[in-house]
Amino acid sequence: MSITVLIVDDSAFMRQMIKQMLTTDPEIEVVGVAVNGRDALKKIQVYNPQVITLDLEMPEMDGLQFLAELMRVNPLPVVVVSSLAVKGGEQTFHALQLGAVDFITKPDAKPSKEIWSIQEELILKVKAAASVSPEQIKNLPSPAAVESIPFHPEIKKGVVAIGASTGGPRALSFLIANLPKDFPWGIIIAQHLPKEFVYSFASRLDSISLLKVKVAEDGEEVLPGKVLIAPSGLQTGVIRKGEKYLIKLAESTALYRPSADYLFNSVAENFGAQSIGVLLTGMGADGAYGLKMMRKAGSITIAESPETCVIYGMPRAAVEIGAASLQLPLTAIPKRLSMLLQEKASELKNQ
C-alpha cells in the first residue's frame, strides 16, 4: 500500500513542486493539498492521510496553530517543509515541541532546480514519518524543577556522549533541560542537522537549560556542566593533552557529519570507563558500533527504548549488536545519568 500524503502550503508553486517530488516515488501517493491550516483540518477529514507536509508561514491559520490543533484532536505525523526552518529557528523548534516529526529547509529561490535539491531528503523523511504512531508524536512531559546534586570533586573527569537524529531536537530539549546546573561531566552531542540550523539549535537548548550550551569549536576544552553541540559538516572527536580533554574537529566525506559513531569511538579511546554513551531516536544505524566500542572500553551505554523514540532505528541497531548496557525511555534518562554519577562519586568516597 502507498503512503498517503496531504500537502499544506499557501504557495500554489510549492504545492505543485512538492507533489511532483513525492509522486516520483511509487510508494507515495499525494491524496490532497491544502492552502492553510484551517483548510488542512477539513481536508484531513476527507482524505485521512498518513503523513502531512507542512509550511509554517500561512494566512488564516499558520503552521504552528495548525499543529497545536491537530495534536489536540487527531495526532498525525507531520514533516515541516519551510524556509523558516532556518530563518525562524525558534518557530521550527516550537513545531517540533508541538509534535512535528522532522523538518526540511525549503530553498528560498523559486527556480525548480533549486527546489528539486530537497527531493531525496523529502521522500526519505516522509517515509520515516509514516512509521511513527500517534502515541509517539504526542508532547513529552515538560521539564520538571531540577535539583542540584552534590558530587565528589574527582567525578569531574568524564564525559557524556550523545547521538541523535530524527526526533532528536525534541528529545534533547527534554534531556538537557532536566539536568542539574552542577552536572559534573562535560556533554558532547552529535545530532544530525542542516548546517544552517546548528547555532539556532544550540541557542535554543542554552535558553531552556541550567547548563551552558554552545556549538563546539576546535581545541575547546571539555568541561563540567558545558554542553557542546557538534557542528554540521565536520566530524567531532576528543583528544587528550596532559590533564585536559579537547575537542578535535575533522574534515570528512562520510554520510553523517557529525557522526555519532565517530564521536563515540573517540570518547571510547580517550575517556574509557569515565564516560557514558547515550543513543537517542533516529533513522539508520549511526552510533551503534561506536556505542559498542564505548561499552567494550568500560563505559555505561544507554539506548532509548522504543516507547519514547520517534524513530526506533539507531537505538534498535545498538541493542541488536549488544552495544547498550541499559535501555531506558527518554523520560528516565536524565535522572539515571545523575544517579549513575552519584554512584561513581560514592565509590570514590569509599576508596
Q: For the chain, give me the number of helices (H) and strands (E)?
A: 13, 14
Q: Where are the beta strands (DSSP E) in 181-284?
A: 186-191, 212-215, 226-229, 235-241, 244-250, 275-279
Looking only at the bridges linking them, the beta strands covering 235-241 and 244-250 are antiparallel
Cell of 83: 524556509
Cell of 116: 528539486
CA 9 – CA 17 distance, rounded (Å)? 11
Cell of 59: 494566512
Total count of residues recorded for the chain: 351
**Active-site residue, selected from the candidate residues 55, 261, 286, 305:** 286
Half-sphere exposure of 145 (CA within 13 A, CB side): 1
192 catalytic per annotation: yes
DSSP string, 38-73: HHHHHHHHHH--SEEEE-S--SSS-HHHHHHHHHHH
Half-sphere exposure of 12 (CA within 13 A, CB side): 0
165 catalytic per annotation: yes
Triad 280, 281, 285: Cα angle to 5°: 90
Tell me which DSSP letter residue 243 carries. Answer: T
Give the CA distances from residue 340 to residues 11, 149, 196, 225, 229, in Å, rounded to whole numbers and listed in that order.
51, 12, 35, 16, 22
The residue among 192, 188, 264 whose CA lies nearest residue 228 is: 188
CA 135 – CA 158 distance, rounded (Å)? 35
286 catalytic per annotation: yes
CB-based contact 47:34 (threshold 8 Å): no
**Active-site residue, selected from the candidate residues 10, 192, 259, 305:** 192
Tell me which DSSP letter residue 230 carries. Answer: P
Cell of 105: 529547509
CA 138 – CA 136 distance, rounded (Å)? 6
**Active-site residue, selected from the candidate residues 82, 165, 266, 275:** 165
Residue positions annotated with a catalytic role:
165, 192, 286
